[in-house]
Structure 1
Amino acid sequence: MRTTHTARVAAGALAALLVLAGCSSKAKDGDGDKQSAGGVKTGAGISGKTISLGVLTDMTGVYATLGKSVTQAQQLYVKQVNASGGVCGYKLSLTVRDHGYDPQKAVSGYTELAPKVLGFTQFIGSPFVAAVKQRIDGQDKGLVLPQAWSAHLLGSPYIRVIGSTYDIETINAIDFLMKEKGLKKGDKIGHVYFEGDYGENALAGSKYMAKKAGLQVVEQKIKPTDNDMTGQVAALKQAKVKAIVISAGPRQAASLVGVAAAGKFPVPIIGNNSAFAPQLLATQAGPALTANYYVASPSLPIGADTPQAKKLVEDYKAAYPKDSLDNGVVAGWTAAAAFGEALKKACAAKDLTREGVDKALLTIDAFDPGFGITQDFSDPKSASSKQSVILRPDKSAVGGMKVVREAEASSAAEGYTPGS
């Protein structure tokens, strides 16, 4: 599923990409602004009666399963909105590019689409969003709702992380391990993490929580191309850690949990929200995942007992009967719905330019499409939520996940600010 280019996700390669990202598409907010017949101001990304939105996803790389679900959920959202008349009389259109979790493809995909779209309902990969952040903030100024949760993306009025960032999510995850899984002051906790923006931001959460709670973090840094966690498990076992956090992809999580179980190392393991896919339950790692693995999530799972979740399950199954359900469906739907809400508010203000949509999102301070956590987009410097739901793999549950702790922000998370 991975290409050999993935190794270039390393920090040095991303620094080089910042040079590439500086090659401007020269698409600036305000270029070609015009008034529609209804008196609504429009600009880049709107042509005729169509609002064009971009999707930069991973359908062939380490997050292929997630990318497919996120994209299909967003296509479903667009189809339903258009069937009900669109937004402000305009139909929505998604232009999808698969970057395969390759940095060069991600940046070139952004370069291609940025001049053509009003904004992005999806951009998978914190390192890749960070690589074009300067361009987004400085000249393009189109709203980006990434499927990435790095705190390094905070502070931008145009790049808006939905839910708790990786550092906050990790703090909540360790709080769960301490309150419910026996981890205590003086213990060692292992942290296996991807090099780069995602893993290192999650590690910052571990270090903060370790300082607050009197823990010792044993680090194991890996690359997205590393799929066998045998060496990492051996090192953590030798260090006598009492629990493990993993900030990587589903494949790495499955290997870690499976190897730990086979090696009679039954410590609790918890992953960040992108470190699980329910398809893993059908693999050899399935029994170990259901026995001793947990996931911190920015929302309730797709199988949540809410009217909105049940309707989304029904609609998604009807649209994609051959595909399985997972939390990528929730992430994709939530981002598309948040973008749609900003479009509706911008329409009401008679300003569908990039600037108008950006301003509209700032007015949304209590957004919840039915998955248990209310998002506040009014402060770009803060995560839209500090709450996390703790999930556990379960074959019998819709989407393969069940809730073991409802949405909660730990006291440590409430008192945390990035960099503290």
Structure 2
Amino acid sequence: MTDRRYSTAAAAALLALTLAATGCSSKAGTGSAGKEDSQGVRTGDGITDKVIPLGVLTDLTGVYASLGKSVTQSQQLWAKQLNAAGGICGRKVELTVRDHGYNPQKAVSAYTELEGEVAGYVQFIGSPFVAAVKQRVETQDKGLILPQAWSASLLGSPYVRVVGATYDIETINAIDFLLTHKLIAKGDRIGHVYFEGDYGENALQGSKYAAEQAGLTVVEQKIKPTDNDMSGQVTALKKAGVKAIMVSAGPRQAASLVGVAAAGRFDVPIIGNNSAFAPQLLATPAGPALQKNYYVAASTLPIGSPAAGPAALAKAYKAAYPKDSLDNGVAAGYTAGKIFEEALKRACADKNLTREGMAKAVRSMNAFDNGFGMTHDFTDPKAPSTRQSVIMRPDAKTPGGLKVVQEATASKPAEGFKFGE
């Protein structure tokens, strides 16, 4: 759901400068054994007898302001519901929100500011920013982070845990959907329009793997997040004779791609990663074409699904925020909240509310299901929590703008994919 305007290397370099400038060591999380409360529960950074503070590092003013708002408000709703039910270990969960505007300097500064004051992070938008702090988290801070980012570069840490399929796996499932439904066939050429950086290039790894498995040829079109007109890409892919297009970019790029293709009578299916759609697009001139030829892959049922989990959340969210529209950020944010809640409950039962206790609790979760279409397994830090994807189509009549066309499925190529190879 996040684009990758800044490279991981650039963010990491900026992180080093920012941390040095802010003198963060005095506020660093300890990840230590902590102290015991009157009930014999060990507690760590920021936790008091009454409060478990969690950080929310989001984008409320940048390129993903709409998404960041939905994710954050759904997590505030989650915390309110949890606290009304009694909280965790006799404590209320308190969210501290920082808006980084999808700016690398603001992102790492916000992380530095909160470090040592919060027990972990229920949200951190921006794969490059999370990747930039990953080494420090592993060696020093050890706070649990559930990022709103799905790059495979984030795998391997016991503290940074990817919720859902990574972009490579998601792309493999997307292409398998096209094959299974005979929208493409062995020997076909498929296009892939993707952002430069770890989001798009991680997705490209998936399309290349899927193509190799199925006897397809990938025609690449790399773009920048500032490229909003896809006319050149559509022309090139039409000339190359592709039979379908994968798009690993933002909503604007996806809408342009679909709209330009339709205007040029280039009638091929187009399928995007979870970050390549926003329901607001359905009110634009590209709306009809999106509903005809576009698909979206994601790791959660859409908020407009009639299933019990999404339906209950949609009702509660609309009651809490009646003026705001629904989108899949609501489902994604709430899912992360429920996962953090389960980790806290398990850590409390173990009488270990330290950062290490939370990380250990997450690793014990092998079949977590909060009613959003799939289970999540966090026992292996080197793997995402699932290899399944839900395939959806835009639908203006459905709240949130997406309807399910294929329930959560892990394709055989996705099951066989090995990370880092």
**Same fold at TM > 0.5:** yes
1:128-186 Cα distance to aligned partner (Å, 9 max, x none): 11111111111110000011111111110001101111000000000011121421222
Q: Is the Cα contact below 8 Å between 1:270 and 1:294 reproduced in 2?
A: yes
Q: How does 1:9-408 map to 2 (within 5 A)?
A: 9-10=6-7, 13-20=10-17, 23=20, 25-26=24-25, 27-30=28-31, 33-408=34-409
The aligned counterpart of 1:416 is 417
The one-letter amino acid of 2:10's match is A
Q: Is the Cα contact below 8 Å between 1:43 and 1:354 reproduced in 2?
A: yes
| Whole-angstrom CA distance in 1 between matches of 2:256 and 2:61 | 19
**Unpaired stretches in structure 2, ≥5 consecutive residues:** none
The one-letter amino acid of 1:317's match is K
The one-letter amino acid of 2:418's match is T
Provide the aligned length of Structure 1 versus Structure 2: 416
1:259-281 Cα distance to aligned partner (Å, 9 max, x none): 11112111110000111111111
Q: Is the Cα contact below 8 Å between 2:4 and 2:198 reproduced in 1?
A: no
| Whole-angstrom CA distance in 2 between matches of 1:385 and 1:21 | 34
| Whole-angstrom CA distance in 2 between matches of 1:326 and 1:132 | 29
Q: Is the Cα contact below 8 Å between 1:29 and 1:353 reproduced in 2?
A: no
| CA-based RMSD | 1.8
Q: Is the Cα contact below 8 Å between 2:5 and 2:197 reproduced in 1?
A: no
- Call closer, same or farther: CA 1:270–1:80 in 2, change over 3 Å: same
Q: Is the Cα contact below 8 Å between 1:21 and 1:135 reproduced in 2?
A: no
| Whole-angstrom CA distance in 1 between matches of 2:224 and 2:172 | 23
The one-letter amino acid of 2:325's match is S
| Whole-angstrom CA distance in 1 between matches of 2:17 and 2:170 | 32
TM-score between the two structures when normalised by the length of structure 1: 0.95
Q: Is the Cα contact below 8 Å between 1:304 and 1:371 reproduced in 2?
A: no
* Post-superposition offset of 1:10: 3.5
| Whole-angstrom CA distance in 2 between matches of 1:404 and 1:276 | 16
* Post-superposition offset of 1:284: 1.3
| Whole-angstrom CA distance in 1 between matches of 2:62 and 2:235 | 27
| Whole-angstrom CA distance in 2 between matches of 1:222 and 1:56 | 27
* Post-superposition offset of 1:384: 1.0
- Call closer, same or farther: CA 1:30–1:64 in 2, change over 3 Å: closer
Q: Is the Cα contact below 8 Å between 1:186 and 1:216 reproduced in 2?
A: yes
| Whole-angstrom CA distance in 1 between matches of 2:171 and 2:17 | 32
Moved over 6 A (4+): none
- Call closer, same or farther: CA 1:110–1:181 in 2, change over 3 Å: farther
| Whole-angstrom CA distance in 2 between matches of 1:30 and 1:175 | 42
* Post-superposition offset of 1:419: 2.9
The one-letter amino acid of 1:298's match is S
**Unpaired stretches in structure 1, ≥5 consecutive residues:** none
